[in-house]
Chain A
């Protein structure tokens, strides 16, 4: 498979992953995808021989998304608060509001928690695969996923409660 064919076939999926990793920041997602593909291009002769080149590139994408710490140090995390639910729920209705609320809350998670959740629930990687991608233990993946889910649940539950009271 040529690099051009790979980009044509895989870039939509990789771009959507990048969007989720960057909290739906389109410019950041485009930049992130470029970084990952450029790094893959450097080693394409090796990567294209693997059975799943997309898996390699997704790994680069996930690691580049937080550069292990650099980006986290340079961009303060956006805290999420239960009160955020009101703003979304007031603006939208039903499933769309629910989706937007969750995505907004996801974007507000610390990068590592967000990355774990995206790899788990969007890319469908196992905990072991995520640990391999991020260079950490399975235990760390579990704890990060657990904390991330707990924070998202908190926001979602407050939203549901307030929505119910409003009716």
Chain B
């Protein structure tokens, strides 16, 4: 180790040696954990309601309640897969030019630049690491991985996203998702957009093409997400 490295090490230790964590740290952690459980519960309820809506003869009318969005013919979609509802929306601050680096498909923008070029999608034991995505939308959409043939399961939406140390399998998620566009007065992101921060698993590296639907009667928009190199 060089003199400079020793100097840096000493500076690091010296600069924090007197620092102590907050006295109520444990209580703060427990409070945060309760919020996490509550959020998971809300997602579970949303999924249950979505399932009920899917089999209801009045599903179109109920969907408006589930998604808490004014009814328009364009947003009359049937929830499928993982349901991301307004209870789990997020409110981050993106750089002003975020649209330039987003994948755009109709009313949906997806940001997935989070992984390093040499990111390893697989843990040593063969399980998969979660990859974070930021999804922004201005209308209700369903998003499905394409092709949907059973023999090509490369991508899944996770019901909850923890961190890089977690180990997932493709069976932990679903190949499709429903994203709810919240009313402008409750959309936290602003600009008429709703934001979700979520985790997906990808048996990568590869490119994944998603079909984005705003209506059962309209053809889907296509969105191709690059997770590492394509064509592998």
Roughly how many angstroms separate A73 CA and B132 CA in the complex, as a whole number?
13
Residues of A within 8 A of B113 (CB): 69, 73
Chain A residues contacting B116 (CB-CB under 8 Å) are 68, 112, 134-136, 140
CB distance B115 to A156 under 8 Å?
A: no
In contact, B16 and A16 (Cβ under 8 angstroms)? yes
Q: Does A20 have its Cβ within 8 Å of any Cβ on chain B? A: yes
Residues of A3-31 at the interface with B, using a CB-CB cut-off of 8 Å, are 4, 7, 11-12, 14-16, 19-20, 24, 30
Min CB distance B117 to A, Å, is 8
Interface size, B (range):
35 or more
B62 within 8 Å of A (CB atoms): no
Whether B9 and A122, one on each chain, are in contact in the complex, defined by CB atoms closer than 8 angstroms, is yes
User: Does B125 reach chain A (CB closer than 8 Å)?
Assistant: no
- Known A98-B7, A153-B4; contact A12-B21, beta-carbon cutoff 8 A: yes
CB distance from B1 to the nearest CB of A (A): 9
Smallest CB–CB gap between A31 and chain B, Å?
9
- Of A34, A60, A137, A153, the most chain B CB neighbours within 10 A belong to A34
Residues in B neighbouring A118, C-beta threshold 8 A = 12
Q: Given the complex, which residues of B lie within 8 Å of A140, measured CB to CB?
A: 116, 118
Does A149 sit at the interface, judged by CB under 8 A?
yes
Beyond A63-B165, A69-B115, whether A99 also contacts B11 by CB under 8 A is yes
- Confirm or deny: A64 has a beta carbon within 8 angstroms of a beta carbon on chain B: yes
B22 within 8 A of partner (CB): yes
Q: How far is the CB of B38 from chain A (nearest CB, A)?
A: 13
Interface residue A130 (Cβ < 8 Å from any Cβ of B) = no
Residue B58 CB within 8 A of the other chain? no
Q: Which residues of B contact A16 (CB under 8 A)?
A: 16-17, 19
Closest CB pairs A-B (n = 7): A69-B114, A15-B21, A16-B16, A68-B114, A63-B164, A99-B11, A121-B9
